[in-house]
Amino acid sequence: MIVVTSVSCGPIKPKEEYLREAYALEDKQDYKNAIKILNDAVDDYPDYKPSLLSRGADKAALGDYKGAIADYSKVIKLDPKNTLALYNTGNNYKRLNKYLIAIGFYNKAFKSKGGESFYFDRTPNRFNLQDNFDVPAHEIFYERGLAYYNVDSAKKAYNDLKQSIKNNYKADECYYYIGFLYLEIQKKETACKCFQQSAQLGYADAEKALKKYCDTLN
């Protein structure tokens, strides 16, 4: 008699277990091995967005920005209004110095939240997975502001960075960049006041800017 043993080719772990293992490695900054686990997770659950988002973040941490974008693109294909995937795609295009493309994704991230003027920031809720895909508006303003800064769109950069300051997010860096925006329009005194505010908030590069541009005002 021949006995045939059935071997399942399905997933061998719950999808949440893959994530727990990957998160533990990420906490140790062991992104390479976290990616290996997430590769298995994506093979077993190709439409599970948290695995793709986590793998994208790990790839970005290792400098593989194109690989990160590829993972976020898969999430966006599954969920076109996924704020986190849109935002992170923008961040990685910015790291590749593709600022205009990055700005386009930041705009889409805002649109996914209801728009720049009527956005809704979700409060993280462990019972609602969708809440974990949100990004606070002030973070998008900050990153988009830096992208605008790098394409010499001064007014838009200023407006975004001021929104970030208004929400007390990375105000030290925002004042620093706004200082340079004022330098560009020959408003040295105002620029130096911004550098001073940045320095007072602990941003080291602002001290260098003060010494370089503002000695005559000290």
Query: What is the token pair recorded at 99?
Result: 């600022």
Task: Provide the pLDDT for residue 6.
Answer: 45
Give the span between the Cα atoms of 178 and 143, in whole angstroms: 14
Compute how many other C-beta atoms are within 10 angstroms of the C-beta atom of residue 150: 16
Residue 145, domain member (yes or no): no
Give the span between the Cα atoms of 112 and 119, in whole angstroms: 8
Q: Which residue has the tokens 């996914």?
A: 112
Taking the chain (218 residues) in consecutive chunks of 10 residues, what is each chunk's mean pLDDT? 50 87 96 97 96 97 98 98 97 98 98 74 48 88 98 97 96 98 96 97 96 76
Q: Rounded to a whole number, what is the distance in angstroms from the first to the last CA of the chain?
A: 96
Q: What is the CATH number of the domain that holds 37?
A: 1.25.40.10
Residue 143, domain member (yes or no): no
* Cα 17 to Cα 26, 55, 57, 203, distances in angstroms: 14, 15, 18, 40
Residues in the chain: 218
Residue 148, domain member (yes or no): no
Q: For residue 179, what is the enclosing H or E element? A: helix 171-184
Residue 159, domain member (yes or no): no
**Number of structural domains found in the chain:** 1
Give the span between the Cα atoms of 68 and 175, in whole angstroms: 30
Query: What is the token pair recorded at 24?
Result: 């533990």
Compute how many other C-beta atoms are within 10 angstroms of the C-beta atom of residue 163: 19
**Host domain of residue 45:** 11-78
Residue 116, domain member (yes or no): no
Give the span between the Cα atoms of 25 and 27, in whole angstroms: 5
Q: Give the residue from 61, 62, 66, 113 showing the smallest Cα distance to 87.
A: 113
Residue 2, domain member (yes or no): no
Task: Provide the pLDDT for residue 128.
Answer: 43
Task: Provide the pLDDT for residue 10.
Answer: 55
Task: Provide the pLDDT for residue 13.
Answer: 86
Residue 106, domain member (yes or no): no
Query: What is the token pair recorded at 6?
Result: 């059935």
Residue 211, domain member (yes or no): no
